[in-house]
Amino acid sequence: MASEQASEAPAAGSLADRISKPDETQPETKPEAQSEAQPAEDAEKSGEADQTDGAPAELGGSDLQEPDYTVEVKLSDLQADPNNPLFSVKNFEDLGIDPRILKGLSAMNFRKPSKIQERALPLLLSNPPKNLVGQSQSGTGKTAAFVLNILSRLDLTSEKAQKTPQALILAPTRELARQIVGVIQVMGQFLENLIIGTAVPADSDSRPRKLECSVVVGTPGTVMDMIKKRIMVASGLKVLVLDEADNMLDQQGLGDQCIRVKGLLPRTIQVVLFSATFPEHVHQYASKFAPDANEITLQHEELTVEGIKQLYLDCSDDEDKYRNLVQLYGLLTVGSSIIFVKTRASAQEIEKRMVAEGHTVASLTGGIEGSQRDAVIDQFRAGQAKVLITTNVLARGIDVSTVSMVINYDIPEIHQPGRRERQADFQTYLHRIGRTGRFGRVGVSISFVSSRDEWNMLNQIQQYFNTTIQRIDTKDWDEVEDIIKKTIKTTRAQGTFGR
């Protein structure tokens, strides 16, 4: 059985296009359309639920419900034909992978490869190993693709090999790292002697132990520190994966750490980058980080996200924001909800006030000790905490199936010192609201607006995505409740996304 070793140790495109450019040509009665929108609970009852790209079902993840799209492949070998049947696969069995891994895939309810997996897996698994840069949204099977590649390349024949890191996965947050560990545990559960190690920031009172495992999942700064202190041996690594690679390479600090980590690894390592979006400047950077890489891109112009109804709430000031949030509390607990705020101090203050008034909420920010963060996200996944207040630390990659509402208590913005006009952060907005309406489910996002600057940023978002965000009137809370409950209860949200 796989075990986790406790080592206490974008720009326009992609998701933006999916929300702002729905395909109106496909009738909703088409069988395929119905299956895409089928609620997860219906799929589970029918026994036909496919597993997720993100968290496995054991961790409360969503079902993978794959929409139509075309996968474009660009091979680093210009003489090769990307349309050659050798570069596509219709069945996992055709890949010649270990039967025990196939058994793990079956346990995850993967019956056949998703479209991204059809094209990515033959390229990932080819020998000698080649680098890969993949642009692929959540819900398309990318996590399972790079995990399958890693498990297929492990040597677990000796105790020394089992305790020597052979693959490294880097993620921007400890929460996403732990989610990936969950996928590895489920897919690799039939591989005897598979040991998974985590390299995430340790609690201040704990001493890191030597990482003796075959797969390491961690955050860049901690991994770099562990390699330098020889807590982690890097000489045996064969595969390096960056998940949410655009964020990792573009974010100040993380990009430098990723480069330094790569400089400490064997030159022959296979580099795999996956991200939902690759802005041009990041793509150029990625091609240097993973030289001579095969590239996979989803042609996503036809995609839609029908499932997120975008609303906004007009508030007179910050105190009015808080009053409206408290008024919304009953609706927040219909399913699970995430409240996004700008700063750790705001998260702590809102949590403190709401708890004092008798409301049950949880808070998760980067300032909380690691083990406490783990406990909070586990409670949220399990439904013990229904309302989670957080900063952008949870904006990317986290998959919790029960989330039906996202609150932008503070509209996300790009920090630009010295600039007079405040600039909305479009990609963070999309990643935030993407925590709800996951894979065929429905959801609501509500943005709070309390100043002219915030109103301007909301307008920037509407113009950028060519969409209308509907105002809800707080003078009539019965109507507000009716709008939200109707949306959550329908099988498909009827939001106006550029229509």
* Same domain for 218 and 113: yes
Burial of 85 (0-12, 13-18, 19+ CB in 10 A): exposed
Q: For 174-195, give the DSSP string.
A: HHHHHHHHHHHHHHTTTSTT-E
Shared-domain flag, residues 214 and 347: no
- Same-domain status, 86 and 159: yes
Structural domains counted in the chain: 2
Rounded Cα–Cα distance for residues 313 and 333 (Å): 18
Does any domain span residue 124?
yes
* Range of the structural domain that residue 428 is part of: 308-491
Strands 195-199 and 215-218, by their bridges, are parallel
Do 418 and 279 lie in one domain? The reply is: no
Q: Do the domain assignments include residue 61? A: no
Q: What is the pTM of this model?
A: 0.72
Residues 141 and 257 in one domain: yes
Is 128 contained in some domain?
A: yes
| Residue 86: burial class (beta carbons within 10 Å; 0-12, 13-18, 19+) | exposed
Provide the 10 A C-beta neighbour count for residue 370: 19
Query: Each residue of 82-124: pLDDT tens digit?
Result: 666 667 788 899 898 999 999 999 888 888 888 888 889 999 9
Within a domain: 439: yes
User: pLDDT tens-digit profile of 348-379?
Assistant: 999 999 888 888 888 888 778 778 888 888 88
Identify whether 368 is part of a domain.
yes
Q: What are 126-174's pLDDT values in tens digits?
A: 999 999 998 876 667 888 999 999 999 999 999 999 999 999 999 988 8
- Verify that 376 and 245 share a domain, yes or no: no
Judge whether 47 lies within some domain: no
Residue 398 maps to a domain: yes
Domain boundary among 277, 299, 321: 299
Instruction: Read off the pLDDT of residues 227-276 as tens digits, 9 standing for 90 and up.
Output: 999 999 999 999 999 998 877 887 666 778 888 899 999 999 999 998 87
The confidence score (pLDDT) of residue 484 equals 81
Instruction: Return all residues near 372 (Cβ < 8 A) that are at least 6 apart.
Output: none
Helix, strand and coil percent figures for the chain, each rounded to 5:
40, 15, 45
- Percent pLDDT > 90 in the chain is 35
At 402, the pLDDT band (50, 70, 90 cuts) reads confident
Overall residue count recorded for the chain in this entry: 499
Both 371 and 229 in a single domain?
Answer: no
Q: What are phi and psi of 270, to 5 degrees?
A: -80, 125
Percent of the chain with pLDDT over 70: 76
Classify residue 34: in a domain, yes or no: no
Same domain, 180 and 322: no
Residues 329 and 346 in one domain: yes
3-class SS of residue 464: helix
Average pLDDT, the chain: 78
Query: Residue 241 and residue 149: Cα distance in Å, rounded?
Result: 10
Residues 145 and 75 in one domain: yes
The CATH number covering residue 293 comes to 3.40.50.300
